[in-house]
Structure 1
Amino acid sequence: MRAAWFEARFGNVEPCFFAASKRLTLILVLILSVWASCQAQPERSTLPAATRLATIYVQVSLPNGRPAGGALVTLRPTRGAPSIGFANDSGRLEFPGMPEVQYSVTATTPSDPNLVSDAVEMNPSLAANGNLTVQLLLRDRSDHTKNPKPGVIRADENEQRIPREARKAFNEGLKFKGNDEPLKALESFNRAVELYHEYYQAFSERGDVNVSQRKLEEAAADFDRALKINAHYGPALRGSGYCKLEKREFADAIELFEKSISADPNNANTHLLLGIANLELDRREPAREALQKALSFDTQPVPRAHIYLANLYARERQYLQAADELHKYIEADPLAAEAAGMREIEAKWRARAAAP
């Protein structure tokens, strides 16, 4: 199960009824009125009201959940030129000083043009503090429908008031985590939650690192803390479910994985873990459905799903299908440590399938 965890790791405008000549007359009257007012009060000037500016934070993730460093992010207002920038190594990008108008934000990755995000519609003026945090998930173009629904931005995510130093520590933690430096990552995430106690993303990321270090009790506590702040956060639901899976509390794990999929339906690893938990309870059809779903994501390879699917077929005495699944796993990862043993099992199952 531990190996499975690492397979993968966001106004109507009324029509004008005036004739053109009447409209022109009204405009002239308005201009003359303004001019006369200015002549009568030469020392007064009318200044436009100050426009509130917002900072829009964007986090871009690859299909496997890792930060999409170098992703190209486009922030497009309803009117005017778009703002374009590249995400840093942690997959983050800030657009400071943006007018509070309606925007659409999308992301692509130059390294793989086939990966794109759905468009997320947003308006900073609707947030309490005028700042927004948007999470974008890159997916294969084939996964997108022709008319995708606008992404939803959660209010509890929008209104986080994360101190700059806490955000900096969090980004450093993501970078260390991506570079496989767990101790440094833990130090950074510790710093982030010390500076901002409601930083549920940092608690969840720290939980992931603790899982990688086999500190499952600490990991479970981190995921639980994250979910107390945001009960709908997909990565924390998945992490908490994994800890339940390791403790063989399969029914609880299944419930958490299903909630995680509701929050983030496009994570192949969660479907894999859901399949494993169902298989442990011998719930074959739900297990089959989840494992096949995990294998349907072309941009998120989870070859170990073939092993569990093979196990399911073997339980049903469908030895040819079981052998085929093992063969697919070996083809996907021929240098795996267990590849030789898998070849032996595959041969035995093919022999059983051929026996009268």
Structure 2
Amino acid sequence: DGQMGIAIKFRIPPKARKAFQKGLERRSKEDPAGSLVHFQRAVAEFPSYYEAYHQMGLAYMHLGQAAQAEQALQKAIDLSQSRHEALFSLASLLSNNQRFSEAEPLARRGLELDGNSWYGQFELARALMGLNRVDTAQKIAEEARKRNPDYPQLHLLLANIHIRKHDYPALLEDLDSYLKLAPDSPTSDQARQRREEVQRTLANNRNVPAAEASKP
């Protein structure tokens, strides 16, 4: 499978490769709509272009076009049984749309191909959290965080897990880490507000004698 993947890569026609590179350039300039034209040209020139279908799917995701994104990502998955990237991307799309029971097996398939992928673990944990399998989600998310502690969304996922488990000291750490990594994100104000609430809860708990007495 790996050798076949290498062979296919060398067969990509120059026109298709050039269109793909132009698509990547547009993507790097935060222009998903502009990138789509080039990725579509790339697959027209070379219908077995896994990377181009994958990037098309990501572009559609950024544009909020879920049905087109799913179609492109599924096409990429169908083209290569030995690549994990599109599996994780489709799992992400499905979780974004609350389709957790469909996302979970895709994330697991991707991790069978690359068991060391922190991103794959993140997507699996997201799906499991959506399925209310909180303990398993926590274990996998913590493993992912060990591999990449600088990914803000991992800390946010763990924050949601710790909210469910009423583990406020851990939640405070999650929110501190998230705000340090992503102080200006769209959800940072909400995270700050939640952090203040958690601090108040912890302060109130410290003022309860029974809570003090039960401390180790």
**TM-score interval, smaller chain:** 0.7 to 0.9
In structure 1, what is the Cα distance between the partners aligned to 2:186 and 2:200?
A: 24
The CA RMSD over aligned residues, in Å, is 2.0
Q: Name the aligned partner's letter for residue 244 of structure 1.
A: L
2:182 aligned with 1:347: no
Q: How does 1:60-209 map to 2 (within 5 A)?
A: 154-160=2-8, 161-209=11-59
Q: Name the aligned partner's letter for residue 99 of structure 2.
A: E
Q: With structure 1 as the length reference, what TM-score do the two structures score? A: 0.53
In structure 2, what is the Cα distance between the partners aligned to 1:179 and 1:265?
A: 31
How far has the Cα of 1:305 moved from its partner? 1.5
2:156 aligned with 1:307: yes
Three-state SS of the structure 1 residue aligned to 2:82 is coil
How far has the Cα of 1:286 moved from its partner? 2.1
In structure 2, what is the Cα distance between the partners aligned to 1:297 and 1:279?
A: 19
More strand by share: 1
Q: Which residue of 2 aligns with 1:230?
A: 80
Q: Which residue of 2 aligns with 1:278?
A: 128
How far has the Cα of 1:266 moved from its partner? 4.4
Three-state SS of the structure 2 residue aligned to 1:236 is helix
More helix by share: 2
**1:334 corresponds to which of 183, 202, 210:** 183
In structure 1, what is the Cα distance between the partners aligned to 2:70 and 2:189?
A: 35
Unpaired runs of 5+ in structure 1?
1-152
**2:140 corresponds to which of 281, 286, 290:** 290
Three-state SS of the structure 2 residue aligned to 1:159 is helix
Q: Return 178-187 or 207-216, whichever deviates more.
A: 178-187
In structure 1, what is the Cα distance between the partners aligned to 2:41 and 2:119?
A: 28
Q: Percent identity of the aligned residues?
A: 23
* Larger CA Rg, structure 1 vs 2: 1
Contact in 2 for aligned 1:318/1:353 (Cα 8 Å):
no
How far has the Cα of 1:273 moved from its partner? 2.1
Contact in 1 for aligned 2:95/2:103 (Cα 8 Å):
yes
Q: With structure 2 as the length reference, what TM-score do the two structures score? A: 0.85
Higher relative contact order (CA 8 A, sep 6+): 1
Q: Which residue of 2 aligns with 1:79?
A: none
Aligned length: 203
Contact in 1 for aligned 2:91/2:107 (Cα 8 Å):
yes
Contact in 2 for aligned 1:210/1:219 (Cα 8 Å):
yes
